[in-house]
Structure 1
Amino acid sequence: MGCGLIKMRYLAAVSAIVVAGAAHAQSSVTLFGIVDTGLVYQSNARVTGSTTQGASLYSMQSGNLSTSRFGLRGSEDLGGGLSAVFWLENGFATNTGAAKNGGDLFGRQSWVGLRSSQYGTLTLGRQYDFMVDYVAPMSATGSGFGGNLADHPYDNDNLNNDMRLNNSIKFSSVSFDGFKAGTMFAFSNDAGQFSNNSAYSMGASYSYGAFNAAAAYVQVNRTANPASANAVGAVSTGDGDALTTGGNQQIFGAGVQYKFGQSSVGAIWTHSVTYNVTGIWQGGSTSIGALNGSYIKFDNFELNGRYFVHPNFSLGASYTYTTGAFGGTTAATSATPHWNQVMAQADYLFSPTTDVYLEGVYQRVSGGNGNPAFDASIYSLDPSSNNQQVVVSVGMRHRF
């Protein structure tokens, strides 16, 4: 009797393990990340506490191409082509161990949703807009090969995904014969101020063989009264997420790309404008008070190309011309700056997950009217003390 009971318990335990294993087989959770660190040379870097004195700067920096990060992503098969999905992603600096994104635990992305193999994916949380999803892959910056150092001035068009949308609901379709589209809305989460720091985005892309094209739009709605600013809405200012501060912000653009094997050539045009501007993202943070005017706008024109000399070795380059206009409080403080920026890169892959790179960027600004906000400035590095700057980085990147 006792022996039979023991056998029954043993069989029950084995059955439970088998059932648990079968259930687990329909779910997956993946730990992923990137670690990117390099040595950087900058010319004319501003001396601490001064906007006019500059010196050469040699430093170690994290994330010269890809921001160092780690995260968890997962899915659960719910049957009928439907899956539950989630994504939690944290950014950090490898050279100091410090958290990025103002210390947010999952400041890069944090969302949960449902994915349909027939229609698309619906997600809720802190997410990227469709300039990032559709247009950025055709650029040298962002999800392109040139990475962070190749971003456009102040990342004014968000192709380098420095801005995320909090409190957002987003739908991205599956591909229908090469065509994809999506739309999203981000809530202000502020009682009585539905449109004060809310945002929305939409976009579409099309692929046919080696040819790709995409277009997208983003708008951030904000009050023009600084005293009524909502700092924790769709675009938070407390964690350095905002590219500009002030009134409404609009970003739109389009790109095309042609691939031949691993190599590619691309062209991008983007436009951005912020009304009643009070600050702009420079040197890794949004400097409120650096600009005060009725508007600031940018048009970015980029050509880029990457050629694989060998399956493990590539050469890449991009040229970006940016025109700007700033409406100051007076005619004397207004400006029409324009930027010329050249990037060149050599990248060697030891494996599909580990590479070393050498990348250089030269930027020159004209027409800044003496405003330090219009000095040369490359990614989140120390801005220049004048209208030009050279940055050279050699580093190593590992993906897992």
Structure 2
Amino acid sequence: MQATKKNHAAAVIGMIGACTLGVASGAHAQSSVTLYGIVDASIMYTSKTQNPLTGGNAGHQFSLTDSGLTGSRFGLKGSEDLGGGLRAEFNLESGISVANGGLNNSNGNLFGREAWVGLSGGFGSVKAGLQYSPFFLSLYDSDPRGMSYFGSGLVNYVDNVLVTGLFNSNAISYTSPEFAGLQGSAMLALGGAAGDFQAGRQYSAGLRYRAGSLTLDAALYSGNAGGSAATTPIPSTVAFTGRTIGASYRFDRLTLKAAFVLYKVAGSFDNRVYSGGLSYAVTPGLVVDAGVYVTRDGNNSNNHSVMASSGLQYFLSKRTTVYGQVGVVNNHGAMDTGLSINNALYAATGSGTTVGANVGIRHMF
């Protein structure tokens, strides 16, 4: 929709996303280092695609797609018991492409997903380095499709602000312990520009409340353009204001979720995304989910879209999953909501209805 998005569409497609988090845990020992990762590939069809030069319809697409469900990646995480309940921790995580073996699903750098070191204990946890913002983590918890790379709230996120707020460079964060169901978090990303504290400065905060089967999430984000992070291959300093509030409730094997998200770029767009959906564990090895995402531009009511999608996951083992997903999106005005982070992030502008589907396999190690 906006100029920033269009200028970087070719760079973003096939380079970002986010997100099953915490794919492996360290061994129970005083000191440990764990290698972990995800390898995910799918075959995808969409009835329309966007021509990156004109914004118009480039026709249907049938392709091998990296990361159809969750982002392919590998990483190292470790911890050391320092005594008295204090632990030192680190995480280095790189996005990779199953399609061509290159970097993908990140900010374009080698460890472009996470690269931080920190301390945790009874006081909570402190991290320093490249990391997720409380704003994005709140959206992740409230998304009915678990931020799938196809047909989920992640597509709306990246379509609007690229990876800003998703992979935050130069960041320092604090997460509190949980008190009476409440847990707070805050993050400040320093711009790193000499003589200009505001350039590239980003901050985010979140608050979560848990009471039995009910979870409530609220978070905010604000960021400025520029700063040292502006040199990352995938733009991560889009100046935007973000707000979200979401809720989830679990009934045994059924989980219901709903959320509201605001993405606002001054002088450009003011997109409000309303989402809702569910996931249901038919059996321990079979999970189905569905979600609906309605986007409206508060600055121009002619710009709006509706995306609906559903997925099925069958677990061949604890580590290997086969899946299928279907989706449909309808765009009006200048809206160009797509269906997939990789290969179909944007639809043809105001092109009406686009349908798509993918089938794939994911292995976690």
Displacement after TM superposition at 1:49 (Å):
4.9
Aligned position for 1:255 = 246
- Summarize the alignment of residues 216-255 of structure 1 with structure 2, pairs less than 5 Å apart: 216-222=219-225, 229-230=226-227, 232-233=228-229, 236=230, 238-242=232-236, 245=238, 248-255=239-246
| Residue in structure 2 matching 1:163, options 156, 166, 170 | 166
Question: In 2, are the aligned partners of 1:163 and 1:241 still within 8 Å (CA)?
Answer: no
Aligned position for 1:127 = 131
Displacement after TM superposition at 1:262 (Å):
3.8
Which runs of 5 or more structure 1 residues have no equivalent in the other structure?
1-23, 223-228, 276-293, 327-333, 369-373
Question: In 1, are the aligned partners of 2:49 and 2:58 still within 8 Å (CA)?
Answer: yes
Displacement after TM superposition at 1:237 (Å):
5.5
With the length of structure 2 as denominator, give the TM-score of the two structures. 0.84
Question: In 2, are the aligned partners of 1:157 and 1:271 still within 8 Å (CA)?
Answer: no
1:306 aligns with 2:269: no
SS of corresponding position for 2:204: strand
The 3 A distance-change label for structure 1 pair 376 and 256 is: closer
Displacement after TM superposition at 1:50 (Å):
4.6
With the length of structure 1 as denominator, give the TM-score of the two structures. 0.77
Aligned position for 2:356 = 391
Moved more, 154-163 or 169-178: 154-163
Aligned position for 1:106 = 111
Q: What is the rounded CA distance, in whole Å, between the counterparts of 2:309 and 2:43 in structure 1? A: 17
Which runs of 5 or more structure 2 residues have no equivalent in the other structure?
1-27
SS of corresponding position for 2:136: helix
Aligned position for 2:69 = 65
The 3 A distance-change label for structure 1 pair 262 and 112 is: farther
- Summarize the alignment of residues 1-400 of structure 1 with structure 2, pairs less than 5 Å apart: 25-46=29-50, 49-100=53-104, 101=106, 103-116=108-121, 118-141=122-145, 144=146, 146-150=148-152, 151-155=154-158, 163-222=166-225, 229-230=226-227, 232-233=228-229, 236=230, 238-242=232-236, 245=238, 248-275=239-266, 294-326=267-299, 336-368=302-334, 374-380=335-341, 381-382=343-344, 383-385=346-348, 386-400=351-365
RMSD of Structure 2 on Structure 1 (CA): 2.3
- Cα deviation 1:138-170 (Å, max 9, x = unaligned): 2135xx164443134353677998731110110
Q: Which has the higher contact order (CA 8 A, sep 6+)?
A: 2
- Cα deviation 1:35-55 (Å, max 9, x = unaligned): 110000011124575533422
Q: Which amino acid aligns with 1:149?
A: G
The 3 A distance-change label for structure 1 pair 102 and 301 is: closer
Q: What is the rounded CA distance, in whole Å, between the counterparts of 2:217 and 2:68 in structure 1? A: 26
Displacement after TM superposition at 1:353 (Å):
1.5
Displacement after TM superposition at 1:344 (Å):
0.9
Displacement after TM superposition at 1:122 (Å):
0.4
- Cα deviation 1:187-242 (Å, max 9, x = unaligned): 010001100111001111011111111101110023xxxxxx44x33xx3532143
SS of corresponding position for 2:339: coil
| Higher helix proportion (structure 1 or 2) | 1
Q: What is the rounded CA distance, in whole Å, between the counterparts of 2:287 and 2:210 in structure 1? A: 24
- Cα deviation 1:108-142 (Å, max 9, x = unaligned): 000001111x111001000111122233212135x
SS of corresponding position for 1:44: coil
Select the structure of larger CA radius of gyration: 1
Displacement after TM superposition at 1:356 (Å):
0.8
Q: Which amino acid aligns with 1:110?
A: A
The 3 A distance-change label for structure 1 pair 124 and 29 is: same
The 3 A distance-change label for structure 1 pair 34 and 342 is: same
Displacement after TM superposition at 1:378 (Å):
2.5
Question: In 1, are the aligned partners of 2:134 and 2:204 still within 8 Å (CA)?
Answer: yes
Displacement after TM superposition at 1:350 (Å):
1.1
SS of corresponding position for 1:55: coil
Identity of matched residues, %: 29
Question: In 2, are the aligned partners of 1:317 and 1:345 still within 8 Å (CA)?
Answer: yes
Question: In 2, are the aligned partners of 1:341 and 1:363 still within 8 Å (CA)?
Answer: yes
